[in-house]
Chain A
Amino acid sequence: MASMVVVQHKQPSSTILSSSLSDFNGARLTASVQPKGALRVTASSSKKILIMGGTRFIGLFLSRLLVKEGHQVTLFTRGKAPIAQQLPGEPDSEFSDFASKILHLKGDRKDFDFVKSSLSAEGFDVVYDINGREADEVEPILDALPNLEQYIYCSSAGVYLKSDYLPHFETDAVDPKSRHKGKLETESLLASRDVNWTSIRPVYIYGPLNYNPVEEWFFHRLKAGRPIPIPNSGMQVTQLGHVKDLATAFIKVLGNEKASKEVFNISGEKYVTFDGLAKACAKAGGFPEPEIIHYNPKEFDFGKKKPFPFRDQVNKLALNLINEAQNGMLIDSLSDDHYVSIVYDECSISLPRLRRQRVCSRLKPEFDLVEGLTDSYNLDFGRGTFRKEADFSTDDIILGKSLVLQS
């Protein structure tokens, strides 16, 4: 977890540090006034944060982390879901603390005039855009907040151009025709505007309260004692990341100079085959090893129904260059040189060559796959909650034919 100092006093949203704020990992900064830009205010000061969305999945965890860090957090939603919903396993005292602090700005983000006027009236330091899909949704926000410190966007690893050569690194080519092109256009817009932005590209997200029936699909079948039908070889590989790890990543880039105008792939440390995912779900729920049936989807007509929660292809695998501390090292050395060169170029104050706090230290996930699925099971499906009712109709079509595919 990132170690950050939360400063209790109100911090003006400027980039000039006063000498009273100085402790970063014990290294006291001696210069009194830093030239603008040389040292940014980091996440240690309390900020006024707006989350676009925040009541569905990622935002539930992210908003809590931000509130715990001492920030003032507002959720921009249409108000269809309650602003504060107690999470499974969340102690009452924690929930009531959260509920007492979380703020609501009610509106429709597609109403661009309203977005612009309400946001500029309020003023925010940082925007987390969790539910944005199209570039035009971002413009009114940027127009409303000219002094915005950071725009943090939830993009998607779906933007990468399909490749036989995986995993994707953030520098890989993207596909302007993909299903996620709205995300791509948003990133391009952010890059073209004079704003400090950060984009996070998750792969598949899972965890308690997942609205996308990923693990839930497997749990339904495991609970019912049914075989798990998996298309083709079952060797197709995908990658899942726990929602809490994603929320943590979102926190780590807040106020982080190293995240400025950067893209990060965020997902689990390992990939998993479709077969492997079925087995991992079984382990997570304490079920016996599942019976897996492979089938050729081309031999069936499922109508509009999806027989399997993943697309049958070589799925996106995305590794983040930061996830491997080679880049942690790269960034440390980069920031040292970089820090040195900025200082020399901009203000010729010779600051001690501090080993700056590794602000973007390894974004190492907390959960491995079985641990993460266990967390999801214990807090959600295992308690009897799920989003979609079990529907085994496509399974029965497959099993009715009793076809076992030769691998």
Chain B
Amino acid sequence: MATAIASSSSSLIFFSTSLSSYSLSPLQRISLSSTSHHSLSSSLSISPSFLALSAKSPRRAVSSFSPSFAVRAEKKNVLVVNTNSGGHAVIGFYFAKELLAAGHGVTILTVGEEGSDKMKKPPFNRFSEIVGAGGKTVWGEPADIGKVLEGATFDVVLDNNGKDLDTVRPVADWAKSSGVKQFLFISSAGIYKPTDEPPHVEGDTVKADAGHVGVEKYISETFGNWASFRPQYMIGSGNNKDCEEWFFDRIVRGRPVLIPGSGMQLTNIAHVRDLSSMLTLAVEKPEAASGNIFNCVSDRAVTLDGMAKLCAQAAGLPVEIVHYDPKAVGIDAKKAFPFRNMHFYAEPRAAKEILGWTGTTNLTVDLKERFDEYVKIGRDKKEIKFETDDKILAALKVPVAV
């Protein structure tokens, strides 16, 4: 029978669902996190949804001034060039839907062919939601982008596909020549040089030879208005790549969760809606966004151990965490574990400062929703082989409950 063994001194608190074990600060604030706040915002106005309700004096309640101060952002025609696989695929999906809901025009160009097997997976198998909301979906090769789009023009382009300049250049060049005003790029927080002083903040040194760096440089030289977004890991319905599922797979089957190293490594796991809202803000505040790098992540870190515990909490199940040294066990941690075996943690300081962005990711709540879907699609009953896990456990000589 598996039991919960917390690997750090932090407790079984993750077990308790009652609030009696801690008290709320008297200063608890409730911020109105409106997912559609951006539709009212512009660089001039103050959206009431930015105001925080405070537990203090009643005078500090939400102002009731007329929202006529708010200026509706002008409608933009946005092109998303989207990768056909991998962790970033879902970004374009959420972004497209959010833009459409805000009244903008959206075309999503997915790399490859509409009939390919890749399109059977999420988020692509849900593209009807984009079309249903008034968006256009096309397929093709970025190198032929002008032809693929048949002369259509756009105000804004987001390249959510290329990892190097060879792939992005044709898109950038076409965008420039067709009069695109704002060029946005999904880069990666993986380009930051590892540091002893987390978090990675915008402006920190990056690895000079990283493909994304070459792209950022090129677009900064090519466009008057450009911005680059550096994400980390994401959860969210429609994700093309496993994230939390890796933990759920083991937790529901009563298998130990194998984490390389100390488990204290910090990482950043965001709900993709946070990335989408940041991108949307950039579209609606182009002057503010222009010329900037944005860490496209949630505003909190979680340790690897912490993620395992939060997943267990979401599942309402215990978790056994086992740490191991990949070298000693003779395993490539990259193949055995879905997150980097180091502190890999960026903070979204530029977005907060420059765009007035707020994060809404709350893993405690969001993972619950993810787990519900995990069960709904029957993945908890799926037959899964854990060959690499078993190999590690054998090397550690840890018994596994069958």
Contacts and interface: CB of A to CB of B under 8 A. Distances in A.
Q: Is the interface of B mostly helix, strand, loop or mixed?
A: loop
A358 interface: no
Contacts of A172: 25
A270 B10 contact: no
Contacts of B26: 187-188, 191-192
Contacts of A277: 196
Q: Which bracket fits the contact residues of A?
A: 35 or more
A233 B59 contact: no
Contacts of B195: 276
B180 to A, nearest CB: 28
Interface stretch (B206-214, B226-234, B248-256, B352-360): B352-360
Given A165-B301, A270-B198, A171 B343 contact: no
A341 B11 CA distance: 46
Given A164-B309, A337-B63, A340-B65, A327 B50 contact: no
A233 B324 CA distance: 12
Contact of B59 (A161, A176, A342): A342
A157 B50 CA distance: 26
A330 B50 contact: yes
B381 to A, nearest CB: 28
B81 interface: no
A342 B60 CA distance: 9
A313 B198 contact: no
A270 B56 CA distance: 31
Contacts of A324: 349, 352-353
B237 interface: no
Contacts of B25: 170-174, 263
B64 interface: yes
Q: Which bracket fits the contact residues of B?
A: 35 or more
B196 A167 contact: no
Interface stretch (B99-107, B239-247, B260-268): B260-268
A341 B65 contact: yes
A94 B363 CA distance: 52
Contacts of A279: 196
A404 interface: no
Interface string B330-372: 0000000000000100010101110111100001100000000
The 7 closest A-B pairs by CB, nearest first: A276-B196, A164-B306, A326-B352, A233-B262, A333-B46, A337-B63, A270-B197
Given A235-B264, A340-B63, 19 more contacts: A162-B10, A165-B363, A166-B300, A166-B301, A167-B300, A174-B25, A188-B26, A237-B266, A261-B57, A272-B196, A279-B196, A329-B353, A330-B52, A333-B46, A336-B46, A337-B48, A338-B60, A369-B197, A407-B262
